[in-house]
Structure 1
Amino acid sequence: MNNTYLKLFCGGFSQQKLFMLSTNVKLSCLLASFCAFAVWIYIFAGISIPFIHKGRLQNQEDFLLRCIKGKSFKQTCPTNYPTTHYPTNQSRQVCPSYFRWIHEDLKPWKDKGITREMLERAKKTAHFKLVIVKGKVYVEKYRKAIQTRDVFTLWGILQMLRLFPGKLPDLELMFDCEDKPVVPLDKFQGPNASPPPLFRYCSDQWSLDIVFPDWSFWGWAETNIKPWKDTLKDIKEGNKKTKWEDRVPYAYWKGNPYVAQTRQNLLQCNVTLDKDWNTLIYIQDWIQESNQGFKKSSLGDQCTHRYKIYIEGWAWSVSEKYIIACDSMTLYVKSNYHDFFMRDMMPLQQYWPIRDNSKCSSLKFAVEWGNNHTQKAQAIGDAGSKFIQEDLDMKNVYNYMFHSLNEYAKLLRFKPKIPRGAVEFCAEKLMACDVNGSIIRRFMEESLEKVPSDSNPCTLPPPYDPLTLQEFLERKVNSTRQVEIWEDEYWQSKINGQ
């Protein structure tokens, strides 16, 4: 644009004003060109342009996935994610009491710490090594895990780091995605014991494996179970559909009985024309469900009975949280395994214990007791459901992950380093940008943490002192024993004809 055209539009402007106007127009054109170029980059390359102030992103869109489109482009990790955490809410709540078990799980290494030699011995069964250095995640994979367990476990850790950027110290850990624990307690006794630290989803009283939230909190793609945040919403809505007193007054279980003998034994408790154990058992055929689009496997539609049964499978079962969240009184068949939260729940307060060696008679008595003490049975169901819905929401799951890794990192007696051949991992590189349209991509998008947390992690409660822990465990044993006494008296009265 030149001064001749400016005169036509601007009339009798002075030469000085025309010069200033010409300069402004040129700047406007440059700015418009830059904006157009930025939009072109965003549309065709899939790159968003963040506005950063004092080291953190200023709007939610800037923290979305940055997927580079086009087969000729190699997906990379963005370099402009926040590296520090600036929460707006500086107050801290105390974490739920089950966080205390973090100290118990790490106690074997409290005195001597964790050496690199100990860590490398955990490689024997590990599926991957996770390394965090300066806030970046690196993964060294050793073998393929069952289904997508490793993928969604890593995805969950990445989401925790997106919530609390820059909060975790450098660390290295080994993770085993199989079900059963593999670090035996009896092999690592005495002052010179040096057990290998190994994270997994469950453990038992005879093992030293470190428990950690399982993959299903971010979705179980192979069974169409949505991320926990959305599944919990569905269950809450399902709870509203049928009041407790209007629910079927029977015990209910639905699942795959063929993964363990204890579940196959449960089939004998199903109602028949000849025997009524007050129990309804339904076999879940996952192959058939998959072929039919999972139309009959919605967890939000399974809160229709007063009593729901939890029973372990090959080891612990991810179904635990879904069952207890249903407002029904949970009939918890004695289990050998525990996950990261169940150890803090109390019999007769948040669930009803069931014998594993006489399931049918134990289940029948539990239902009889509940139907004769409806207010107490409903209160137990409500308390268990409240624990799951409030203390096990995703905020606390991430808090638990943070504190578990933070306390673990304090025990390391070596400087974490990036392994040769390890690959930097981020949300964009962990399949989220590679499987467009798939259920994996959908679950990742639904569980993506888009902005850092507006608060710090909750405050970790102190370890149990030995006396308090002993008293807590004795209360659990005594509560279970009380139920067994009532049950024995019930069946004895039947024998006596009362």
Structure 2
Amino acid sequence: MKYSIVLFYMCKLIQLFDCNKSDSVSRLENIKEEPIYNLYKREDNERLTSLLTAKTQYTPCTFNNCSCYLDVILKDLEPFKKGITANMLKSAKQKGTRYILIGSKLYRDSYCMFPARCSGIEYFLLKIKNKLPDLDMIINTRDWPQVSRFHGIPTPVFSFSKTQDFLDIMYPTWGFWEGGPAIKLYPRGLGRWDIHRKSLTNEYYEWPWDKKKSIGFFRGSRTSSERDSLIMLSRESPSIVDAAYTKNQAWKSEQDTLFELPAEEVSLNEHCRYKYLFNFRGVAASFRLKHLFLCGSLVFHVGDEWKEFFYSSLKPWIHFIPVESTASKEDIRNLLEFIKEHDDLAKEIAERGREFIWDHLRMKDITCYWRALLRRYSKLLDFKPSLAGIDNMIEITGDQR
């Protein structure tokens, strides 16, 4: 009797078949088009609704170039639609490194705060310099964006990452080539996206979905307390999550690893052995996010404040699982339990995420984005770029790299 009542209400809720038919149970078992709602877990039903709504509203990008990101370029340049003056650049010169392109020759301030980062930027600028008009621009190589939405007249400064509180113009991070975070496993800094694409794809085939460990995984330093809930859940329930803090350059004591000894670093390739990979922001947007997708694992992306240029094309419940930055241990536990109960959906989302990054974040897409961005930016300059009156500029030829 109890079984009949539960089955009746389940059928009414999902409205997929006539419960009066004798083969209703077997038909329920064979339904694959839609997930089965849970009568007793409101949060799970809300997640399923979010997933189905996202799928209904999503239109995949079918362009075979960087046009998937055109809206980002247009939005970032919108504050400067009335033109960019020489005085605007002059007022922004302390916020980054100045680059000038004249007659296909690239010049830069002789002083670069982060040489490896400048080198990573220059790799792309040198590739496209012959296809660009003359330019004058300020490129920020710090982690933090520079142009607040709330203070004064916006100045044109290029930054790799920002939140909605900033008006910086996003560019593809230097780390696609050189100068990413330096850790013991990557002492020269995380870079060479082209190489990582190949090695992570090899791991994707070595560790298919059914071979991966069905637990959450994270390794990283404690750059934000947002990561603490996952770490504490791992200590409490290691069969659900394997997460631990590692050292970073600022490590001073066990307080920096939440009062445990720092864990050993784990290579990006080894991440591919786990089904569920957690991504957190660092000081700004995380450099690891794009790498995690290529494992073919399901990415749990925590918080939505920080962006890189390609983030807006990645959709929650389509390419990744969204997690609130304030999520508690129990929130994360419940989310992982939900995903485990819907393994087919998890695999589907993971594969869509991997395919998007593989198809639309190639090295040629990065070069394309730089070219499209700078061509549109150049049209906003209301002056002719010149080296006259500008001291300490050196020509960048590629020999410095």
2:92 aligned with 1:133: no
| Contact 1:349-1:384 at 8 Å conserved across structures | yes
Matches within 5 A, 1:106-145: 106-110=77-81, 112-126=82-96, 128-142=97-111, 144-145=113-114
* Structure 1 residues 186-207: Cα deviation after superposition (integer angstroms, max 9, x where no partner): 234xxxxx41100011011111
Aligned AA for 2:293?
Answer: I
Q: Given the superposition, is the C-alpha separation of residues 237 and 286 from structure 1 closer, same or farther in structure 2, using an over 3 Å criterion?
A: farther
Q: Give deviations 1:329-375, integer Å, cap 9, x for gaps.
A: 11011132101100121111001101111242232222212211111
Q: Distance in 1 between matches of 2:340 and 2:229?
A: 25
Question: What is aligned with 1:438?
Answer: none
Matches within 5 A, 1:397-476: 397-418=366-387, 419-428=390-399, 430=400, 432=401
- 2:148 corresponding residue in structure 1: 184
Shift of 1:143: 5.1
Question: Would the aligned equivalents of 1:235 and 1:300 in 2 still touch at CA under 8 Å?
Answer: yes
Task: Deviation per CA, 1:393-436: give whole Å up to 9, x if none.
Answer: 101010001111111111000000123431110111x2x3xxxx
Matched, 1:169 2:139: no
The letter of the residue matching 1:357 is: T
C-alpha spacing 1:305/1:297, structure 2 compared with 1 (3 Å): closer
Q: Superposition pairs for residues 250-269 of structure 1, below 5 Å? A: 250-257=215-222, 259-269=223-233
Q: In 1, Cα distance between the equivalents of 2:87 and 2:319?
A: 42
3-state secondary structure, aligned to 1:203: coil
Contact 1:140 1:421 (8 Å CA) reproduced: yes
Distance in 1, Cα, partners of 2:108 & 2:243:
42
CA distance in 1, matches of 2:286, 2:160: 10
Q: Is the 8 A contact 2:217 2:271 kept in 1?
A: no
- Structure 1 residues 221-245: Cα deviation after superposition (integer angstroms, max 9, x where no partner): 7342340000110000011111212
Maintained 8 Å contact 1:277/1:361: no
Instruction: State the match for 1:102 in structure 2.
Output: 73
Residue 124 of structure 1 and its aligned partner are, at CA, apart by 2.2
Residues 112 and 118 of structure 2 are in contact (CA less than 8 Å); yes or no, is this contact kept in structure 1?
no
Question: Which residue does the alignment assign to 2:166?
Answer: 207
- Contact 1:130–1:174 (CA under 8 A) maintained in structure 2: yes
Contact 2:76 2:167 in 1 (8 A): yes
**Whole-Å separation in 1 of the counterparts to 2:109 and 2:86:** 15
Q: Corresponding residue for 2:207? A: 242
TM, length-normalised to structure 1: 0.60
Inter-partner Cα distance in structure 1 for 2:64 and 2:353? 21
**What residue in structure 2 maps to residue 307 of structure 1?**
276
Alpha carbons 1:277, 1:364 under 8 Å: kept? no
Task: Specify the alignment match of 2:198 in structure 1.
Answer: 233
Counterpart residue number, 1:279 = 241
In 2, Cα distance between equivalents of 1:362 and 1:201:
31
Aligned to 1:365: 334
In structure 1, C-alpha distance between the alignment counterparts of 2:67 and 2:174, rounded to whole Å: 21
TM-score normalised by L of structure 2: 0.74
Alignment match, 1:382 = 351
Give the CA deviation at 1:149.
Answer: 1.8
Alignment of 1:60-71 (within 5 A): none
- List gaps (5 residues or longer) in structure 2: 1-62, 250-263
1:156 to 98, 112, 124: 124
The 2-side partners of 1:359 and 1:396 are apart by 37
Are the equivalent residues in 2 in contact too, given 1:269–1:277 (CA < 8 A)? no
Amino acid paired to 1:179: D
Change (3 A) 1:359 1:392: farther
What is the root-mean-square deviation of aligned Cα atoms in Å?
2.1
User: Any conservation in 2 of the 1:263–1:313 contact (CA below 8 Å)?
Assistant: no
Distance (whole Å) between structure 2 residues aligned to residue 139 and residue 378 of structure 1? 46
Count of residue correspondences? 317
1:302-339 CA deviation, whole Å, 9 max, x = no partner? 20111100100111111111122221111011132101
Counterpart amino acid of residue 152 in structure 1: G
How far off its partner does 1:298 sit? 3.1
- What is the letter of the counterpart of residue 141 of structure 2? C
Assess, with a 3 A threshold, how the Cα gap between structure 1 residues 144 and 95 changes in structure 2: closer, same or farther. closer
Residue identity in the other structure for 1:281: A
1:119 partner amino acid: L
Structure 1 position 297, deviation (Å)? 4.1
- SS of the aligned residue for 1:98 comes to helix
Tell me the residue number matched to 1:196: 155
Q: CA deviation at 1:120?
A: 1.2
Note the C-alpha offset of 1:281: 0.6
Find the residue that maps to 1:206 and give its secondary structure: coil
> Residues 217 and 409 (structure 1 numbering): CA distance in 2 closer, same or farther, change over 3 Å?
same
1:376 is displaced (CA, Å) by 0.8
- Matched to 2:202, the amino acid is E
What is residue 304 of structure 2 aligned with on the other side?
335
Distance across 1 between alignment mates of 2:357 and 2:116: 24
- For residues 167 and 102 of structure 2, the distance between their equivalents in structure 1, rounded to whole angstroms, comes to 26
Q: In the aligned structure 2, how far is the partner of 1:319 from the partner of 1:335? A: 15
Question: Within 1, Cα distance between the matches of 2:244 and 2:320?
Answer: 21
Choose 134-143 or 295-304, whichever is displaced more: 295-304
Superposed CA deviations along residues 21-76 of structure 1, whole A, max 9, x for unmatched, are: xxxxxxxxxxxxxxxxxxxxxxxxxxxxxxxxxxxxxxxxxxxxxxxxxxxxxxxx
Map of 2:324 onto structure 1: 355
